[in-house]
Each structure stands twice: as C-alpha cells, then as structure tokens.
Amino acid sequence: MSEMNTNKYKGGEEPGATRVRFAPSPTGHLHVGGARTALYGWLFARSRKGSFILRIEDTDRHRSTEESVEQIISSLQWLGLDWDEGPGVGGDRGPYRQMERMEIYKEAAAALLESGKAYRCYCSPEELDAARANAKAAGKPFVYNGRCANLTAVDEEKLKAGGRGSVVRLRLPDTGVTIVRDIIKGDVEFDNSILGDFILLRSSGIPTYNFAVSVDDAHMGVTHVIRGDDHLPNTPRQILLLEAMGEKLPAYAHLPLILGPDKTPFSKRHGASSVEEFRSQGYVREALCNYLALLGWSLDGETTLFSVEELIEKFSLERVGSTASVFDNEKLSWMNGHYIRSMDSEELASRIEQFIENTVLAGLPGTDDKPSVTDLVPLVQEKMKTLADFVDLTEFFFHPATFEEKALSRLVKDANAPAVLANAAEVLSSLDVFSVEAIESTLRQSADDLELKLGKFLQPIRISVSGKTITPGMFETLEMLGREESVSRLLAAIDLLKNSG
RNA sequence: GGCGCAUUCGUCUAGUGGCCUAGGACGCCGCCCUCUCACGGCGGUGGCAGGGGUUCAAAUCCCCUAUGCGCUACCA
C-alpha cells in the first residue's frame, strides 16, 4: 500500500546525488528556526556527501531587502554552514535568487498554459475578496469557483479589451486525495476538493510562493525538501503542480516549530531570537549548532554533546521528532559555557579579541602596561558562560574600580575591612617578588595573623581592587594588576572607608 | 468555520506492546570541594493531557474529548 507512490519520488537514490536546499525569504535576520532548518538540511546533505544549495526567495517585493540577504548569508557563514551552490558561489542551476529567475517561471507557466493544465483568470482581487467574505459569512470554506476555468478565446479577448488584468491558475482535480509522504510526519492525506485552482503567476507576472518553489525545486534537482512544518498544508499543491509539470517528487521532511517559553512561536517578543543576536551576546557557533541540533533531534536520548563532525556522522531525519519544542536559553548558556571551557586558550583568546571590539574594552587589552586577552584568559576561562562575560569579569583591570552598590555596602559593613586592607597594603608593598606564589603565601599568613578565614580576609581586598564581589582568583588578579596598582587601590579603599565613617 | 499537525518531568528528550518501580540532559534543591563566583563530584525533586476501548499485558495500538499551533492570500 505504501509502495503505491514510490516511483513518483526521486529521493533516496545514490547518496552523492542528494540535493538539499535552504530557501529563506530575506525579510529579516536569520531566525533560530530558520537556522535550525538550515542546519538540518546542511547536516543531511553533508552526511550523504550531497549538495547544499542556498536559494533566496525574494518574490515578496514589499518585505524583501538586500540587507536581509546579506545578514542571512553572514549568519550562515558564522555558523559554518557552507553551500555548494547559491549566492556568492554560483552553480549551474542558477540564478539562485528568485527575482532573477523570472524567465524560467514565465516559460514554465507558458508550458502549463499551452498544455491546458493552467488557465488565465480575469477575476479581480476585489471580486475574490468579496467571494471570500461571502464564504466566510456562510460558514463555508472558500475555494476558487473556477469561473474562468473554461473561457473561450472570444471571452478572453473581450475581458482583455475591457482592461482586465489576469493571473495564471493551475487547473486541479476537485476529487480524490493527495498524499504527502513525509519523513517526519508520516503519510498525510489531503482532500483535493478543498485546494482550489490556485494562482501560479500574479497579474504582475511575479510567481507566487507555491509556483516558484515548485519550479525551482524541480529545475534545481532538489531531492529532499526540508523546511518548517508551516509549509505542510501547502505541500499537496506543490505535489499536484510538480505532477502537472511532469516532474518527479522530492522527499519531504517537515520540521516542527520552535516555541518561546509561553508556547507560542518563537519570535523577537521572546528576546534574542536571531542568530545575529546570539552572536552579539557572546554565544559561540559550536554551542548554537549543538543546541539547535538537539532541539528536535536526538541520537539516543543520552548523548548531548556533539561536535559538528559527529553531528554530520550521526544526524538523520528519521530521528527528528514531530513535536514543537521550546527554546531554552538556560540550556544554551550551559552548553556555551561548556564549549568555552573546552576550547584551547589561543582559540578562545582570538574569539574574545574579536568580540570585545564592540564593547567598552575595545582596543584596551595589551596596551600600555595592561594585560592582554591572552594573559587574562587563564583567569576567566572556566568562569565564562558567554564571551560577554569576559567584559564583566575583567573590566576593572582596564578602568579604575567603580563600586557596585552591593559590593560597597558589604565593604562598609565589614568590621574587619580596615584592618585587612591596611595589612594587605603593607605586606604587598614590601614583597620582594610580586608573583602569584609570593602573594598567596604572604596573604595566607596575614589571614592567619588576623585570625580570619581566608575567604573572610580576601573579600574586602577583592571588593577594594575590583569594586565587585565576583572576580577571578584573587592572587592571580593582584599579580596581574601589579603591585603599584593593587596597593594604590587598597589605599584608596582605606580612605573611602574613613570618609564614609 | 474547514483542513492539517501536535500532546512523556518546569524545559529538551529516550521510549515503536512485556527489559518502565518511565532513562538521560538543562534548571531547581541539598551536600562536598572552595578565596568570591563559576567549575567539578555526589544525592534529591519531578512527567506519560483526560476519557473510553483492544490485549494476558499499553507511555507505546484504536476512538472520542480537551488544549496548543499551522494552513485556509495575486505573503513566504
């Protein structure tokens, strides 16, 4: 029974012949939902040694922008998802932007018109809107009534002479069912009677989504259509269209949605939602790819950490789940911290250097007597969850300590603070060698002398030199700050305490 | 309204009729480690949407209900 339509499909042939496309509409940044779709398609293509194609679906002239095309491309590149055919790399099935493919659509429409599988419709948008309104008022589904389906040449001449514009519609059966064989959703059956003869070419001559996508998928030899499941209800139309054009069908895989915490489709309302935003918040590509891969796919329910290479090796569409999933920033952050921790220090340093160019630290590390990013990485690597954390953790090395409210009040309330700071300033000034080891042993000794636990002893010092309650290890921090700066900050804090009485 | 998809711990998920006293991960809680914060280690909390069937046996199969979402455009 399920073998019934097998010969209509072309998916599943030799792996190397696999062709997958990612087809975003350039109407904004690359959203994480789009990024996941791209990732799955890319992983699938790479795992089958096939081709990954980028196609820009810019037929919505009102919403498409060139900036958006550039942003999407830059996000894909940042994620490491490269394409074999598409903008910037070419390919022999191009062009890869739909607005540059008008001739191809016109020809396809002409062929359909010629064979009688499509026809011109002269109904105006106003008439159609009215019909839709009527149907709704009557509580009935709106299906185009086929008024123009059987016009004679004479009728057409008359309508044209009357100045009527026309669209091209596909002639569809109004009986029977169309079955979408979906790798993720299984076989889904649609009644042809509710489809209606839909529009292929608008009166402007620009193709509609369903037409452009079908013509392009066929023309580009796409074997696997991997996209969001909001497209599932459109798929029977595309199947019927492909069949009308005499094309074989690609395999379909409709991915479930990504939701926000409130279970509605994930969007900017939920905070960061685009790849660009996550990038600028200091997330690394390894974490985003790994996290996105797991949002809807799992290998065994046990393994959670995958390198890109492992993903390519293990990924399969069959193990993509069919339920929508909620995007969880906490888990992404945890994963991001994991990747930051496991990165080798030169690599981390170079990522941080790029990242801080857009922050208050821009241009500061490594200048004058300031520590470089490389100097600082060992102190903060295991504390960072995002690259942005580097800034919070190390800013006080580059600017005079500004006291956080909480830190200041703790310092003021700490009865031991004056004694601790005086002691520390003194012993640190008289140290022969200002090294981590020397600092540690002398400060431990001081803590003992004052009969304070080390933590209790170090906290006033921490706050005095950094203005914060959280810093990298204190001994390392003091060494990095240098004797002079350390002591002067301690002295300044002592004054501060006196004056605040 | 019609059509479609979906429903396992708070979240991501494993589970394809007996191995489930439902497993893992994030989060959360507790303990340990500890100079703060993280990290790490150990332990814990917590779930099959509801109702009917089928079966010796159901998270797993069928039906109904509920809820959420999508599509229903000369948007994609």
Report whether A460 contacts A420 (CB < 8 A). Answer: yes
Question: Could you tell me which of A129, A239, A127 has the C-alpha nearest to residue A180?
Answer: A239
Q: Tell me if A43 sits within 8 A of A269, measured CB to CB.
A: no
A131 has a pLDDT exceeding 80: no
**In Å, what is the separation between the CA of A386 and the C1' of B39?**
15
- Whether the CB of A256 is less than 7 Å away from nucleic strand B comes out as yes
Percent of chain A predicted with pLDDT > 70? 97
For residue A373, the model assigns a pLDDT of: 97
Which of A489, A281, A496 shows the shortest CA–CA distance to A397?
A489
From the CA of A12, how many Å to the C1' of B58?
A: 34
What is the per-residue pLDDT for A146?
74
Sign of torsion, CA A201 A202 A206 A212?
Answer: negative
Q: Tell me which nucleotides of strand B come within 7 A of a protein CB.
A: 1-8, 10-15, 23-27, 34-40, 68-76
**Is A306 in contact with A293 (CB distance < 8 Å)?**
yes
Strands in A177-182's sheet, in edge-to-edge order, are A51-54, A19-22, A224-228, A251-255, A177-182, A186-191
ipTM of the complex: 0.95
For the record, the structure tokens of A306 come out as 């995958």
pLDDT tens digits for range A385-395? 999 999 999 99
A294: nearest nucleotide, CA–C1' criterion: B12
Largest CA distance in chain A: 108
The confidence score (pLDDT) of residue A162 equals 79
What is the value of pTM for the model shown?
A: 0.92
pLDDT value at residue A4:
40
Q: Quote the pLDDT of residue A15.
A: 65
What pLDDT, on the 0 to 100 scale, is given for residue A160?
76
Give me the pLDDT at residue A12, please: 55
Alpha helices in A115-221 (DSSP H): 125-137, 153-161, 209-219
- Tell me the Ramachandran region of residue A74: left when phi exceeds 0, alpha when psi lies from -120 to 50, beta otherwise: alpha
The pLDDT of A62-78, averaged and rounded, is 94
Q: What is the pLDDT of residue A62?
A: 86
Provide, rounded to the nearest whole percent, the portion of chain A with pLDDT above 90: 76
User: Strand, helix or coil at A60?
Assistant: coil
The 3-state secondary structure of A327-363, one letter per residue: CCHHHHHHHHHHHHHHCCHHHHHHHHHHHHHHCCCCC
- Nearest nucleotide to the CA of A189, by C1', is B4
Per-residue pLDDT, A13? 60
Which residue would you say has higher pLDDT here, A208 or A499? A208
Length of chain A: 501
What is the mean predicted confidence (pLDDT) over A413-421?
Answer: 92
Closest nucleotide over all strands to A298 (CA to C1'): B13
With a cut of 60, say whether residue A2 has pLDDT above it.
no
Q: Distance in angstroms, CA of A470 to C1' of B38? A: 10
B6 C1' closest Cα residue: A323
Q: Please say if A8 is a catalytic residue.
A: no
pLDDT of residue A136: 77
pLDDT at A154: 82
Interatomic CA distance for residues A365 and A372, integer angstroms: 4
Ranked by mean pLDDT, the top range of A175-184, A262-271, A327-336 is: A327-336
**Which whole-number Å values give the CA distances from A120 to A81, A101, A148, A205, A242, in the listed order?**
41, 21, 7, 12, 19
Q: What is the pLDDT of residues A95-126, one digit of tens each?
A: 999 999 999 999 999 999 999 999 999 888 88
**CB-neighbour burial class of residue A469 (10 A; exposed 0-12, middle 13-18, buried 19+):** middle
What are the pLDDT digits (tens) for A351-387? 999 999 999 999 999 888 899 999 999 999 999 999 9
- Tokens linked to A327: 């995007």
Tell me the per-residue pLDDT of A297-324, one tens digit each, with 9 for 90 and over: 999 999 999 999 999 999 999 999 999 9
Measuring alpha carbon to C1', the residue closest to nucleotide B40 is A382
Within residues 109-128 of protein chain A, the ones with CB less than 7 A from nucleic strand B are 123-125, 128
Q: What is the pLDDT of residue A25?
A: 94
Residue A35: the pLDDT is: 97
Report CA(A302)–C1'(B24) in Å, whole number. Answer: 5
- CA at A3, C1' at B12: how many angstroms apart? 35
Task: Pick out the nucleotide with least CA–C1' distance to A141.
Answer: B2
**With bands split at pLDDT 50, 70 and 90, how would you rate the model's confidence at A94?**
confident
A470 touches strand B (CB under 7 A): yes
Distance CA A270, CA A116 (A): 49
The mean pLDDT of chain A is 91
How far apart CA A197 and CA A172 sit, in angstroms, is 6
Rounded Cα–Cα distance for residues A160 and A169 (Å):
16
Distance A361 CA to B47 C1' (A): 46
Per-residue pLDDT reduced to its tens digit, A277-288: 999 999 999 999
Which residues of A in 391-450 have their CB below 7 Å from strand B's atoms?
A: none
> Closest nucleotide to residue A165 (Cα to C1')?
B74
Buried b (16+ CB within 10 A) or exposed e, A402-416: ebeeebbebbeebee
Query: pLDDT digits over A7-45, tens only?
Result: 576 755 666 689 999 999 999 999 999 999 999 999 999
Question: Is strand B within 7 Å of residue A260 (CB)?
Answer: no
Q: What is the per-residue pLDDT for A5?
A: 43
Residue A3 has pLDDT above 50, yes or no: no
Give yes or no for residue A145 having a pLDDT over 80.
no
Q: What is the pLDDT of residue A501?
A: 57
| Angle subtended at Cα A154 by Cα A152 and Cα A157, rounded to the nearest 5 degrees | 115
